[in-house]
Chain A
Amino acid sequence: MPYWLYDIVYPLSRWLHIVCTTLIVGGTLFFELVLPIAIEDLKREQQLYVFARARLVFRWVVWIGVAGLLISGVVSLYRMWRPYQLQEFGYVSGWAFSHVGLGAIGMVLGLLLTMGRQPPENPVRWMRLNLVILLVVIFLGSATRHFQLSLAERPHSNRQINTDGWNPFEPSNRPSTQPTTAPATNPTTRPSP
């Protein structure tokens, strides 16, 4: 990928990933925590009706969120795939794949809760479980990011590495702007003839 395209895609995919996370996490929290209290004074039939309508509208939010998370997640995974193959990234990839795996469970659960005409038994309890899963997923994502950055910022003896592990694998695509004090050629003490 050319560096100018990477400079556009990277912030954009990060933005998309965070916005879609907020849609699902904030919406789920509102759905399971705020909505039941807000409608508790209504009659039972009205409660069910409001809940069903909210679920119908929230379905779109979940679908858009899941689609955005999948797109931005695939972009991030594509970007980090080669660094994750390296031995030194071993434990970071462990955190990353836990984030991906648990995130997939959270997304599937979110889709199952909003798909179909009828909600499952105890939808609020399932939403609560999903919220806990999503909070753990965000924690795993934060930890992955931190370990990735701290590993990539560590000095390496024979290669230059960017903080996200992108540069060393496509050195020809991006001009190096790092200042250097090293002379262009090795100095020699050999006496001239």
Chain B
Amino acid sequence: MNPVLIVILRWLHIIPAAIAIGGLIFMRFVLPPAIRPLGDEQQREVFLRARRIFKIMLHACILLLIISGVLNSIRFYPVYQQHRPLAIALWHTHMFLAVIVFVISFWSLAGKQPPASHRAAATVNVILLLVLVAVSSTLQWARQSPVQPTTQQGASR
């Protein structure tokens, strides 16, 4: 694959992840204390406006994450197979957590009004995203570690 394309794909995976995670943390932990002195109606209005813009941003981020993630997975899957079972297990965990995070995001941002438990959902999503990044960091470490002779034999079967 073209090196420029590889770098851009890597960049296009990190930037949306950064926007999604950092934006969610801002929305959950920075915005509520900032608007607390306002009246209830104004608080709700400001929160809903922020939520509306964040929804557009997050949907674009999810689209970019899926596109760059699929292309990265196609590129690295043979390497993951060389490092099975650890790399394959981590890759599946990464995918599984990503799907859960996307579903929670879509659910909590759907409609004009947030669901009653949107704060709890946002907190769960932040924790899952931190775990997801940890899994992806470990996956990269597993990908770069030397190939075990037994696993290489297993992969070549």
Contacts and interface: CB of A to CB of B under 8 A. Distances in A.
Interface in A128-168: 135, 138-139, 141-143, 145-147, 149-150, 162-164, 167
A61 B29 CA distance: 10
B54 A30 contact: yes
B21 interface: yes
A54 B133 contact: no
Contact of B10 (A22, A57, A58, A142): A142
Interface of B: 3, 6-7, 10-11, 14-15, 17-27, 29-31, 33-38, 42, 45-47, 49-50, 53-54, 57, 130, 133-134, 136-138, 140-141, 143-149, 152
Interface in A60-115: 61
Classify the interface of chain A: helix, strand, loop or mixed.
Answer: helix
A26 B14 contact: no
A37 interface: yes
Contact of A26 (B24, B46, B152): B24
A84 to B, nearest CB: 17
A169 interface: no
A164 B144 contact: yes
Contact of B42 (A46, A58, A135): A46
Given A25-B18, A29-B19, A34-B23, A53 B149 contact: no
A139 to B, nearest CB: 5
Given A18-B137, A38-B49, A53 B34 contact: yes
Nearest to A23: B22
Contact of A19 (B23, B50, B133, B152): B133
A145 B25 CA distance: 27
Given A19-B133, A30-B27, 10 more contacts: A7-B141, A11-B134, A18-B14, A23-B22, A30-B22, A34-B26, A34-B50, A38-B46, A139-B11, A177-B146
B146 A138 contact: no
B146 A27 contact: no
Nearest to A163: B144
A27 B26 contact: yes
Nearest to A49: B37
A177 B42 CA distance: 63
